[in-house]
Amino acid sequence: MNSKLIYILMFLSILSMFMSSCSDPSYLDVGDVDDVKDECYEDRYFERGDILDEIVGCWELIYIDCGFCIPFGDVEAGVDLNDDGTGRLEYFERLESGNIEENVDFTWNIVESTDIFGSTTWLLYTEPSHFVLQQEVFCSQYMFFDNTPVDGVQVIFERE
């Protein structure tokens, strides 16, 4: 068999493995994701002070998905954000090869950022950092980030 054909078949089989695994979201039905994001955009906080006033509390992961990345297992996560600028993430991912469990204590703040179009946006900055804590859209019921346009991760938390 031609070696080019073998390489093409190997590439396509690896690609199909990632594509099929990455399309399995957690908790929130994929059909409801756009509705939740639209609702949050309509109720979005644009001022740093409003975000700081409203973000404190307990948040539960309701959706996680990725564009073209390593597939996630079954993920459960909760975040507590305290008004003194401290927080705790409890993250659990169930995989066929074993489980990942992380409990991360962190400090947090809302920091200004500029997107590629020159618009100002606000980001949840934590120290230490964790990939599910990259929130950039805040509203009364949800906070989320969506890097799927660049084949990244999309995460949505709901207020408990």
84-130, pLDDT tens digit by residue?
A: 999 999 999 888 888 899 999 999 999 999 877 788 889 999 999 99
Sorted by where each starts, the structural domains of the chain and their CATH numbers stand as: 3-159 (2.40.128)
Spans of the chain, pLDDT less than 50: 11-26
Per-residue model confidence (pLDDT) at position 150: 65
Per-residue model confidence (pLDDT) at position 65: 85
Q: Is 40 exposed, middle or buried (0-12, 13-18, 19+ CB in 10 A)?
A: buried
